[in-house]
Structure 1
């Protein structure tokens, strides 16, 4: 096989994958591990598959944020690295919060991570992420609403610092359409961002994660608009990335985005199943796997994720990988 070719999955067990290229030139990868947080580091995207994860944080004792550590993300804000992750006390959804770690040095693999606390969001929830914009920092998360007709929706708020919100938590997108309500729950979660052509694109996961119909939706806003003006967001009417049984891909979702080493290609990172929810084999022993694939843009300035590729599809490695 050519060294320029690879196959998915990147990780056989890799739910809620986050891959980011940071200012030090390395790619970092995190996935949900449940009981701890771990990092992988590589000079290339596909090289992450060969790196052993380094555990960089684990709760020291039982407490309010010691269970169900989910969906970690590594961010660099004003030269300092932070990790955002979901945790609870082992109880119900009402105890689930987004927590923040701050790196005390410069090497995220070796230096100490300091627990800054849980973000003071208005609602319990999960999948927190940050978006710098026009000198301000914004926090987006999936909040468990007090609403009777859906399970979670995406809220946004301005940040006073990387772990503290100020002002109202504004509802940005809620699961109101049938395609967002599959699997027995109405859900919008896992916000991730793209910027292009003067717009900010918020890509989110919709429907229940255990459903074959778990998918990606999209809402967008002009870069010149107020991000906390809910009416300024324009929601796409249907999924932008969804199951493709012909390729053996089910429930693709909870994604992140990264770029090729030479900066010339956009790549989507996501998890999916290779068997349907009706398949008896679906269980904890057959977890969601991490996949990556290149995507493009339409002539109307929209991201074009196309169809999720089958696992046996030979893919060209990201440009600039050596």
Structure 2
């Protein structure tokens, strides 16, 4: 667990937890979720570094059996058109073929209260996981890691427009599939966990590559011009090398499945990700971590290296 003084904090911010999603809303609160497998819980806090110590609310319990009853993974909370939405992956326990992205809706101002209503599963063309949305240019995009080309690779990232926050319209486009060796580590070739940064006239799609249990799980990046057609694969350029990787000298392995947020005063950019603290530690050792990142002179994100556990880090600017 993290240790916090009045000026610093340490990673990890939580003893265990995969696929950390942190979202700062206009109400000044941070909303935080991690994969729990059998339920969805939501943390709400004015502090980034102490978010895991805040009260948590169990907001969803799945049905006892059937579709969406097992393997609740990678929950994300978003705010669209005055309502809250949570996207999460679930299956019926029968493996990848039954894996879908489900959507919950809540119209309450405080998403830890009110009623979460199930809107069903997103009508994706393929089974898959790690669904997320992007509001940009007056359009709502959905992106996810879809299965469909076994045994060539395990998953690739597809995009489509949305008619509403739970329904796709139009065709799906393949944006990135595993191509490089660093995307094929751990026994499967995988691209998953898409999320976004928009800055300096560009849209950056950051994704996770290789298997989450491999030391070499890492982040890759696609880049598009802000005004381009984001459903056109030709709009995107793919980095040939990963942009965030393991750091054995700091004792951090398999960094990935991240989200992005900003400091309380809005002046700093932060990456929130999970990592493994020992080599070959496996999925059970995944822990949420966070660190500030900067930008290169040509306007690209610079994530640096994963910070070692128990290293005092300055608190986010504006955090009390």
Q: TM-score range by the shorter chain?
A: over 0.9
2:254 & 2:35 partners in 1: Cα distance?
A: 17
CA distance in 2, matches of 1:20, 1:93: 28
2:213 and 2:282 in contact (8 A); partners too: no
Task: Provide the residue aligned with 1:145 in structure 2.
Answer: 148
Aligned residue number for residue 40 of structure 2: 37
CA RMSD in angstroms, aligned pairs only: 1.1
1:219 aligns with 2:217: no
CA distance in 2 between partners of 1:221 and 1:276 (Å): 34
Contact kept in structure 2, 1:15 and 1:31, CA below 8 Å: yes
Q: Tell me, yes or no, if the aligned pair for 1:64 and 1:95 is still in contact at 8 Å.
A: yes
Does the aligned pair in 1 maintain the 2:82–2:107 contact within 8 Å? no
Q: Does 1:48 find its partner at 2:51? A: yes
TM-score (norm 2): 0.97
Q: CA deviation at 1:62?
A: 1.1
> Is 1:177 aligned with 2:180?
yes
Determine the structure 1 residue equivalent to 2:231: 228
Question: 1:161: how far off?
Answer: 0.3
- Are the aligned partners of 2:147 and 2:154 in contact in 1 as well (CA < 8 Å)? yes
Structure 2 counterpart of 1:293:
291
Shift of 1:213: 0.3
Q: Is the CA contact (8 Å cut-off) linking 2:145 and 2:158 kept in structure 1?
A: yes
Helix, strand or coil for the counterpart of 1:179? Answer: helix
Deviation string, structure 1 residues 150-170 (Cα, Å, up to 9, x no partner): 110000000000000011110
**Number of the residue aligned with 1:312:** 310
- SS of 2:51's equivalent in the other structure is helix
Deviates more, 1:139-148 or 1:28-37: 139-148
Question: Once the two structures are superposed, what CA deviation does each residue of 1:37-66 show, in whole Å capped at 9, x if it has no partner?
Answer: 000010110120211321100113311101
> Do residues 105 (structure 1) and 103 (structure 2) align?
no
Partner-residue secondary structure (3-state), 1:17: strand
Alpha-carbon separation, structure 1, partners of 2:153 and 2:293? 31
Q: Contact 1:104/1:114 (CA < 8 Å) preserved in 2?
A: no
Unaligned runs of 5+ in 2: none
Deviations 1:240-281 (A, max 9, x none): 00001000000000000000000000000000001011xxxx
CA contact (8 A) 2:11 2:310 kept: yes
Identify the residue that residue 72 of structure 1 maps to in structure 2.
75
In structure 1, stretches of 5+ residues that fail to align are none
Deviation of 1:2 after TM superposition, in Å, equals: 4.2
* 1:245 pairs with 2:248: yes
Deviation at 1:128, TM superposition (A): 0.3
Question: Which residue of 2 is the match for residue 128 of structure 1?
Answer: 131
Instruction: State the partner residue of 2:273.
Output: 270
Secondary structure in structure 1 of the residue aligned to 2:186 = helix
Give the CA deviation at 1:147: 4.5
Aligned partners of 2:277 and 2:285 also within 8 Å: no
Q: Find the partner of 2:262 among 247, 255, 259.
A: 259
Q: Alignment partner for residue 196 of structure 1, among 182, 189, 199?
A: 199
Task: State whether residues 157 and 170 of structure 1, in contact with CA within 8 Å, keep that contact through their aligned partners in structure 2.
Answer: yes
Partner SS state of residue 307, structure 1: coil
Q: How many residues align?
A: 317
Instruction: Flag as ranges the 4+ runs of structure 1 deviating above 2 A.
Output: none
Give the TM-score, by structure 1 length.
0.96
Displacement, 1:283? Answer: 5.6
Q: Equivalents in 1 of 2:142, 2:52: separation in Å?
A: 30
